[in-house]
Amino acid sequence: MKFSFLIYSYFPFGGQQRDFLRIVTECLQRGHTVDVYTRSWQGVVPEQLKLIIVPASGLTRLAQYRRFTDWVAAALAKQPPHTVVGFNKMPLLDVYFAADPCFAEKAVAQRGFYYQYTPRYRHFKVYEAAVFGASSTTEVLLLSPQQRREFGQHYPGCEMRLHDLPPGIAADRRVSARDPALKAALRAGLGISADSVLLLQVGSGFRVKGVDRSLRAMAALPAELRQRCRYLLVGQDKPAPFLRLARQLGIGSQVTILPGRDDIPRFLAAADLLLHPAYLESAGYVLLEATIAGLPVLTTASCGYAFHIEQAESGAVCIEPFQQAELNRLLAEMLLQLPVAAWSANGLRYGSNEDLYAMPRVAADLIESFAQARHPQGPAS
Strands 197-202 and 162-164: unpaired
| pLDDT at position 377 | 64
pLDDT at 381 over 50: no
Mean pLDDT computed over 104-112: 87
* Domains 2-166+358-374 and 172-353 agree in fold: yes
| pLDDT at position 170 | 85
Q: pLDDT per residue over 298-326, tens digit each?
A: 999 999 999 999 999 999 999 999 999 99
Strand partners, 274: 200, 297
Q: pLDDT per residue over 13-48, tens digit each?
A: 888 999 999 999 999 999 999 999 999 999 999 999
Percent of all residues in the chain with a pLDDT value above 70, rounded to a whole number? 99
Q: pLDDT per residue over 198-214, tens digit each?
A: 999 999 999 999 999 99
pTM: 0.86
CA distance 244 to 191: 21
| pLDDT at position 304 | 92
What is the fold of 2-166+358-374? Rossmann fold (3.40.50)
| Exposure of 363 in the CB half-sphere (CA atoms within 13 A) | 29
The domain segmentation of the chain, as residue ranges, is: 2-166+358-374, 172-353
| pLDDT at position 378 | 59
- Closest C-alpha among 58, 61, 16 to residue 208: 16
Q: pLDDT per residue over 240-270, tens digit each?
A: 999 999 999 999 999 999 998 888 999 999 9
What is the fold of 172-353? Rossmann fold (3.40.50)
CA distance 177 to 349: 10
Question: How far is Cα of residue 43 from the mean position of the Cα atoms in its chain?
Answer: 18
